[in-house]
Structure 1
Amino acid sequence: MDVVTSDSQGNGDSGPSDTVKIPERPLKRDQLRLEDVERRKEAKESLSVTEERSEFFSSTFKSERLAIERLLSACSEDDCAFATQTLEEVTLKTQQLQKFLNDSMTFLTQYELRQAQASLQKLQTSLAEKREVVLPKKKFAFRSRNTGASNPKVTAVVANSPASATSVDSGGVKLLGTSHLDQCGFSHISSQTLIKSAEEIQKQDVLLTHLTNCKVRLFGAPSTLHVKHVRDCEILCGPVSSSIFVDHCTNCVLVFPCQQLRTHNTTDTEVYLHVTSRAIIEDCQRVRFAPFSWSYPGLDSDFLVSGLDQNRNNWTQVDDFNRLATSTPSPNWTVIPEPDRRNDWDV
């Protein structure tokens, strides 16, 4: 028999009484069975939680999407001020909806994810089309400007390939360019001053790539701005209606307003920023921030075209994706002290 019980009527000198010894094999079998039951219970609870979270996401996403669509429908070119305010609100809500989707990806099915992404893309397209219709277009006119003897001449390159450019002297500023550009922006240029007018970049996607020791001035309101592989450059841009993407930027000064800023692989760079949502940095070191301080004729009009709110600037709200702990400040970015900030940006 496998169970041994001591004799309760014994003379008491053979060990403790009423002791039961349970064999090891049945005990392990019972433990495995209990663990299996617990795993099944946890799996069921996890499935229930996932289904609840998926249902919550679907209802919330749909509700927010419909609210954004109603705002877009209410926009009219008859009331420019109201349209500008509404489009800024739509831009912010769309960005928040994108973040909500990003935060929910871990439990969404591939079908749900594709459907949500398609809906977001449709909203963004509708927003761009509505902005193009209801907001007034900036009227552009060439203005001559006399330059005194104290101002040096500036070489302004307005083409991607300076080797194929022709020169025209204009008010002390040498313009190198062609009338038809393959790409809106500049690439593979060193030690030049690069200028684009509002008419060239208005509502365009602008790309600046592989620039070294250049001064860049972008007047107007582009749709997006991409800055990649630049070194020792000073880049100033008018209001960007959506996002600015910065990647592999070293020892530069960047000055621009935008709806959102995403910065990657950037070091020793100063950013004079106006941002209506938040700035994001990742894999960056020694990045310093200050409020946007550039001004030029037509800036207010460009803000109007972009749909950005001039009165809302979240330049100190920087999210460092390499610094998840919020209890201590990120070591990767700081604020430029007021005495050290620049305000004079003349070429």
Structure 2
Amino acid sequence: RINMDATLETSEETGFYDRNAAAKLHERIEKRQQVLAEDVERRKEARQSQSVAEEKSEYFVSSFNAERAGIQELLSGCSGADRPTVTQKLEEATAKMTQLQKFLNDSMIFLSQYQIRVAQGALQKLQASLNETREEALPKKKFAFRSRTKAAENVSDSPPPPSSETVSSGVTKVDEATISAQTGFSNISNESLTMTSEEIQSRDVLLTHLTNCKVRLYGSPSTLHLKHITACEVLCGPVATSVFVDHCSNSVLGLACQQLRTHNTTDTQVYLHVTSRAIIEDCRGVSFAPFCWSYPTLDQDFAASGLDQDRNNWSQVDDFNWLAAGTPSPNWTVIPEADRKTAWDP
């Protein structure tokens, strides 16, 4: 307890207590008590906030695992079933996968980085299992991409099947991992390539083995795959689900999507709009900035894709090769504002 009488100042001339000193002392005591009370309240709110976050996290984990188990059960039920039953189960599993991805996206605000990585890894394995089940139960006829010399010419939907890896007509067989893609460009150099909304809307698009090309994809595809892209500039309208980039180098990409997965990519700029978190693996020299490409029907394509135009996590990047907590990954950077590209087409 502070001895107020002992601390009051006495005037040497009058011998009376200094009333101003007493008032100042009272003020200091009241301020100190207020600070202590505010500190107690902050600690209380922090404990409550932590408790709520833990409860939300526990709910997410249990709900996520239950939904994942339900999808796995649907896929298991495809084994030995007739075609109509398989089709129904796969459609249901696909819808549940979309809901589960949205559940993860909406929960990221209170999940730890470790929990996000675990959930994203589980979704990736589940998607691979779904694709494998679909291929086994409902196999599609293989097709090939044909090289094009005209900019706006897209891949034929039903080309003749190739007899070998490369046939005399110039048709190149696409690897097994990407035969589900339905349209795109392949094996082209030094060209300007364009596809319209009618050509790519709600379809899977594959760009592979392109060198020094300028690509413009107007519309909202379902997915986008980029493989073996060198010294290219690729701009694409809003992708409803995921963009997969593999073996890309010295390129500039403009992408809007729900999820971005980038592998084996070097010295590439990505102008990105992503509603979850971008993922890189086995990459170096990758840099990011906000998506800034625009064309007349962009808003309509965002609406068609279902992406939230006001939610962009372009700078939230998870590097699966860099798990050191609290230390930024050296494999990616943010493009300085002064160095960002703003004009794309004349």
Q: Give the structure-1-normalised TM-score.
A: 0.55
Pair 1:95–1:178, CA change in 2 (3 A): closer
Q: Secondary structure at the match of 1:162?
A: coil
Letter aligned with residue 249 of structure 1: C
Deviation at 1:334, TM superposition (A): 0.4
User: Which entry has the higher C-alpha Rg, 1 or 2?
Assistant: 1
The gaps in structure 1 that reach 5 residues or longer are 1-55, 67-86, 107-112, 126-158, 166-173
Distance 2:103 2:263 in 1: 24
Other-structure match for 1:205: 204
Structure 1 residue 162 corresponds to structure 2 residue 148: yes
CA distance in 1, matches of 2:116, 2:276: 17
Question: Which residue number in structure 2 is paired with residue 253 of structure 1?
Answer: 252
- TM-fit CA distance, 1:65: 8.7
Partner of 2:337: 338
Percent of aligned positions that are identical? 57
* Pairs within 5 Å for 1:106-125: 117=126
Looking at structure 2, the residues matched to 175 and 229 of structure 1 have their Cα atoms a distance apart, in angstroms, of 20
Amino acid at match of 1:61: N
- Do structure 1's residue 93 and structure 2's residue 103 form an aligned pair? yes
Contact 2:258 2:274 (C-alpha < 8 Å) held by counterparts: yes
Q: Which amino acid in structure 1 is aligned with residue 65 of structure 2?
A: F
Q: In the TM superposition, what whole-angstrom CA distance separates every residue of 1:6-30 from its partner, at most 9, and x where no partner exists?
A: xxxxxxxxxxxxxxxxxxxxxxxxx
Partner of 1:145: none
Task: Please give the alpha-carbon distance, in whole angstroms, between the structure 1 residues aligned to 2:153 and 2:278.
Answer: 35
Q: Which amino acid aligns with 1:62?
A: A
Shift of 1:343: 1.2
Q: What is the Cα-based RMSD across aligned positions, in Å? A: 3.8
* 8 A Cα contact 1:88 1:307, kept in partner: no
Q: Tell which has more relative contact order, 1 or 2 (C-alpha 8 A, sep 6+).
A: 1
8 Å contact 2:185–2:207 — kept in the other structure? Answer: yes
State which of 52, 66, 72 in structure 2 corresponds to 1:62. Answer: 66
Q: What is the DSSP-based 3-state SS (H/G/I as helix, E as strand, rest coil) of the residue aligned with 2:270?
A: strand
In structure 2, C-alpha distance between the alignment counterparts of 1:317 and 1:285, rounded to whole Å: 16
Partners of 1:162 and 1:207 in 2: CA distance: 14
Name segments (4+ residues, structure 1) moved above 4 Å.
56-60, 63-66, 87-91, 94-97, 99-102, 174-183
> Structure 1 residue 311 and structure 2 residue 321: aligned?
no
- Letter in structure 1 aligned against 2:102: L
104 and 214 in structure 1: CA distance in 2 versus 1, 3 angstrom threshold: closer
Report the alpha carbon displacement of residue 160 of structure 1 after superposing the two structures with TM.
3.9
> How far did residue 88 of structure 1 move?
9.1
- Give the partner amino acid of 1:266: T
Deviation at residue 177 of structure 1 after TM alignment: 5.8
What is the identity, as a one-letter code, of the residue corresponding to 1:239?
Answer: P
Cα distance between partner residues in 1 of 2:146 and 2:338: 37
Provide the aligned length of Structure 1 versus Structure 2.
221
Q: Give, in whole Å, the separation in 1 of the partners of 2:120 and 2:213.
A: 41
In the aligned structure 1, how far is the partner of 2:64 from the partner of 2:185?
42
Matched, 1:284 2:288: no
Please state whether the residue corresponding to 2:228 is helix, strand or coil. Answer: strand
CA contact (8 A) 1:160 1:181 kept: no
